[in-house]
Amino acid sequence: MSAAVVPHRRSRPDEPRTARITVLPGDGVGPEVTAEAVKVMGAVAARWGHEFHFDEGLIGGCAIDATGSSLPETTLELCRYADAVLLGAVGGPRWDGASQTDRPERGLLALRKGLGVYANLRPVVARQRLVGASPLRAELLRDVDVMVVRELTGGIYFGEKGREPMSGGGERAFDVCGYTTGEIERVARVAGEIARARRRRLTSVDKANVLETSRLWRSVVSRVIAEEFPDVALEHMLVDSCAMHLIRRPADFDVIVTENMFGDILTDEASMLAGSMGLLPSASLGVGADDGVDAIDPTEPEGVARGSAPSRMGLYEPIHGSAPDIAGKGIANPIGAILSVAMLLRYSLGLEKEARLVESVVDAALDDGVLTAELASRGQRAWLTTEVGDEIARKIASAP
């Protein structure tokens, strides 16, 4: 059985760490939010005596402008030799023209494939302080805490695609969606491990009434969970039904596992439970059987792994896009990027204590009204991007 994507501990919990982080600011608001995330990592390093070294690379539209490629080979090499990668965002209207031979999003897909990060973890938490920012009624948001596990390197995004002329005029376009048993097995194991460490409830989302890939998905997930995670309650749900129930009864969900496109769409919808897409982080991870990471131990707090293990390279990014309409205005919300740092500390560096502090400080800052414009109420101060980063870094330095 392949090792699962789970947090792990250092063999000496109080030992300072040295790590190399590749930062890919990207396009739009990407440089603004990653700058604040790096600032927070600096505060963490100063507090615990860690040494974090940062290398910067090009990806997306800015990489096309500078090198002609959305993912230069030098960027990919920087990422492969890093302990973790922190990404901002890619894309924008400048690179949307039909004449484009390369697109910013191609660089992101190539990076995911090149790093082999097949499991995308997206936590969605509804905080009481921010229930007014959500379009849902406050009573629906009570106890909402969902982890979405999105398969990241298969499906329609990576299938054969193209256009061909039709004899009667016009064109035919196609995008092939394909999945293998192995691709489904490994992400099902990730979801099973995470569900086992939480409330032991797993919802697998597909479209098995229509799609053959979904019928394979459902059968493989059923087998993996039944054989390897008999203590986890599995429910299958069609994607359209899931989209409805995420709004109707969001607190009933614990862990959701789904394929690439469905996961992309559902987590954008789920961001409204939290109040803003700017609040949501993500971790993209990949583990092979020879990784050396032990299986998760559900008797341990927060589902940390047994024993010690080497660091696991991962790709961390907020789920929001490049938001070109607000780029350069200093009003982008950096919380999603900062919470991605917490996931980086936990999953790639094994710094659980540091990760929890970042998360608790973010909660405290939000409770104190440290909110950017899209979350601030009328008459309430709207904090600038850099001010949010400064305040969270200050709170990390002064936390008891």
Question: Is 252 part of the annotated catalytic residue set?
Answer: no
pTM: 0.88
Catalytic-labelled residue, pool 264, 291, 294, 390:
264
Strands 145-151 and 255-258: parallel
CATH superfamily of 135-274: Isopropylmalate Dehydrogenase (3.40.718.10)
Low-confidence residues of the chain, pLDDT below 50? 1-11, 288-310
Is the CB of residue 184 less than 8 Å from the CB of residue 221?
yes
pLDDT at residue number 15: 77
Active site includes 207? yes
Spot the catalytic one: 65, 96, 175, 240.
Answer: 240
Question: Which one of the listed residues 268, 291, 294, 363 is annotated catalytic?
Answer: 268
Residue type, 45: A
Residue among 157, 179, 316, 347 flagged as catalytic: 157
Q: How far apart are CA 16 and CA 244, in angstroms?
A: 46
Phi, psi (deg, nearest 5) at residue 117:
-90, 100
Does residue 254 carry a catalytic annotation? Answer: no
* Long-range Cβ contact pairs of 218-225 (< 8 A, separation 24 or more): 220/181, 220/184, 220/185, 220/188, 221/184, 221/188, 221/257, 224/184, 224/185, 224/188, 224/189, 224/192, 225/188, 225/192
The answer to whether domain 1-121+276-400 and domain 135-274 are alike in fold is yes
Write the CB contacts of 106 (distance below 8 Å, at least 6 apart in sequence): 70, 71
Question: Would residue 240 show up in a list of annotated catalytic residues for this protein?
Answer: yes
- Are residues 336 and 33 in contact, defined by beta-carbon separation less than 8 angstroms? yes
Is 316 marked active-site?
no
Domain ranges of the chain: 1-121+276-400, 135-274
CATH homologous superfamily for the domain 1-121+276-400: Isopropylmalate Dehydrogenase (3.40.718.10)
Q: In this predicted structure, what is the pLDDT of residue 238?
A: 98
